């Protein structure tokens, strides 16, 4: 659609006065800034890679797969991360947990294979948001290199080794120690949940003091 001429406002450049037209105030103003830097002895140059930058803990770098308190992979292979991933770089093959093994008694499902293509990944952190057990996390390892594409396909062992490397570093705290599926399955420490959705004012049952009793 063409612009209506009525909507156009023409602005004229303000005219310069005598001193401005000599350009001298602007020249001295620039020299003043230069002089300030001459007097300032704080260096701004970063000596990478001799000095590594101090990144904040929410920096999104290479992924890791956390371990639970038994040393097993915490991931339950729910594939929420693969569903959320906009780059489709996560490939998980699930398997049912060994039924007879007491080590796996509290788990139904675990990842047989878990591969992240670090070259496809856009490091958006959606996988971390989607994970219901806080298993996948992004570390602040950013200087990732590899000699081949295959090397950049991080499998389960490699992702767990990233966890072992980074779990004790101050910038990569293990954010949760819960290994179960959300609050509801955490039976020993169950507390009343706040409403996940807003409660309507006319919801009589939500206001009831005890379950099932509706005034």
Partner 1 sequence: MPTVIVNNKPVEIGPSEKLNCIQAAERAGDTIPSYCWHHDLSVVASCRMCLVEVGEKKPDGTIAMQPKLSPGCQTPVKDGTVIVSNSEKVLAAQKATLEYLLLNHPLDCPVCDQAGECGLQDYSYKYGRGYSRLQEPKNIKPDKDYIGDQITLFTDRCIMCTRCVRFTREISGTAEMQVVSRGTHEEIDIFPGEPCNNKLAGNVVDLCPVGALCSKDFLYQQRVWWLKSKNSVCPGCSTGCSITVDQNEDVLYRLKPRENPQAQGSFMCDEGRFGWKYAQSDRRLTLPEQRSAGKTISRDWDVVLSSLGTTLADLSDQKSGAFVVAISPWATVEEAYLLAKFAKDVNPNARLALGPVRTVGEDDLYPKDIHGQPSLPTRFTIRAEKCPNRRGVEAVLNHFQGEVVPFSSVLGDVESGSVDTLFVLGGDPEGWISEADVPKLDKLKLLIVQDLLGSPASAKAHFVLPGAAWAEKDGTFVNHNGLAQAIHRGLRGPEGSRPDGRILFELSGRSGLFHAASLRQEIASQIPELAALSVGDLGEFGVSLTSAAKTEPQPVG
Q: Which residues bind partner 1 (CB under 8 A)?
A: 76-80, 83, 94-96, 99, 108-109, 132-133, 181-182, 184-185, 187-188, 190-197, 202-206, 210-212, 214
- Distance (Å, whole) CA 215 – CA 47: 70
Minimum Å gap between C-beta 150 and partner 1 is 21
CA 159 from chain centre, in angstroms, equals: 16
Minimum Å gap between C-beta 199 and partner 1 is 8
Minimum Å gap between C-beta 94 and partner 1 is 4
Q: Which is nearer to partner 1, 127 or 133 (CB)?
A: 133
Under 8 Å CB-to-CB from 57, ≥6 apart: which residues?
140, 171, 172, 173
Q: Which is nearer to partner 1, 147 or 193 (CB)?
A: 193
Minimum Å gap between C-beta 37 and partner 1 is 56
Q: Which is nearer to partner 1, 70 or 183 (CB)?
A: 183
Q: Which is nearer to partner 1, 81 or 141 (CB)?
A: 81
Minimum Å gap between C-beta 109 and partner 1 is 5
Q: Which is nearer to partner 1, 14 or 212 (CB)?
A: 212
Q: Which is nearer to partner 1, 108 or 143 (CB)?
A: 108
Distances (CA, A) of 83 to 18, 75, 78, 91, 150: 67, 15, 9, 10, 23
**What does the longest C-alpha to C-alpha distance in the chain come to?**
93
Minimum Å gap between C-beta 57 and partner 1 is 26
Tally the C-alpha atoms within 13 A of residue 66's C-alpha that lie toward its C-beta: 25
CA angle 80, 74, 65 (to 5 degrees): 75
Closest Cα partner for 106 from 48, 24, 188?
188
Q: Is 167 exposed, middle or buried (0-12, 13-18, 19+ CB in 10 A)?
A: middle
């Amino acid at each position: 659609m063409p612009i209506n001429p009525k909507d156009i406002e023409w602005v004229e450049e303000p005219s310069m006065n005598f001193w401005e037209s000599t350009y001298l105030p602007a020249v001295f103003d620039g020299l003043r800034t230069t002089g300030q830097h001459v007097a300032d002895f704080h260096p701004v140059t970063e000596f990478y890679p001799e000095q590594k930058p101090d990144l904040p803990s929410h920096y999104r770098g290479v992924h890791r797969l956390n371990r639970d308190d038994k040393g097993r992979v915490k991931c339950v292979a729910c594939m929420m991360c693969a569903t959320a991933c906009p780059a489709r770089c996560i490939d998980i093959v699930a398997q049912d947990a060994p039924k007879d093994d007491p080590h796996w008694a509290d788990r139904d499902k675990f990842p047989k294979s878990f591969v992240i293509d670090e070259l496809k990944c856009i490091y958006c952190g959606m996988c971390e948001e989607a994970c219901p057990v806080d298993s996948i996390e992004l570390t602040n390892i950013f200087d990732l290199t590899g000699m081949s594409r295959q090397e950049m396909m991080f499998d389960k062992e490699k992702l767990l080794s990233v966890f072992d490397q980074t779990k004790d570093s101050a910038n990569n705290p293990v954010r949760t120690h819960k290994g179960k599926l959300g609050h509801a399955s955490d039976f020993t420490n169950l507390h009343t949940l706040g409403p996940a959705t807003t409660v309507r004012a006319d919801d009589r049952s939500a206001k009831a003091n005890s379950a099932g009793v509706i005034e």
